[in-house]
Amino acid sequence: MINFSFGPNIFLGIIVGFGVLILYFLRNVKPEVARDEDIFFATIGLLYSCILIIHGWRLDPILLFSQVLIITTVLVAGWENIRLRGLIANISKLNRKEKNN
């Protein structure tokens, strides 16, 4: 049974889908920061967001709150991971430049 009505589950699914699409298109914008396993996590995240949008109406308030906490934790950890990848890429670029000089 699919009961599609607008609620907080739609909002959470859109947030997850947007975050995962950013991870997927990171390969085009900054290829030095992207990893091969990002495509796997992007696929799993898109599947999760679709399930949350379609079947999220079943969530009672406690389960919805737990999903909010999980999604917030994963998005913050992912953001920090990407920032650290960028920092490592910049440091390695500077080290290569110093070795060449």
Query: CA 50 → CA 25, 31, 32, 72, distances in Å?
Result: 19, 27, 29, 17
Contacts with 26 (C-beta within 8 Å, 6 or more apart), sequence order: 33, 34, 38, 82
Contacts with 78 (C-beta within 8 Å, 6 or more apart), sequence order: 19, 23
Summarised one tens digit per residue, pLDDT across range 17-71 is 999 999 999 989 988 888 889 999 999 999 999 999 888 888 888 999 999 999 9
Helices assigned H by DSSP within the chain: 8-29, 38-55, 61-100
pTM listed for this prediction: 0.81
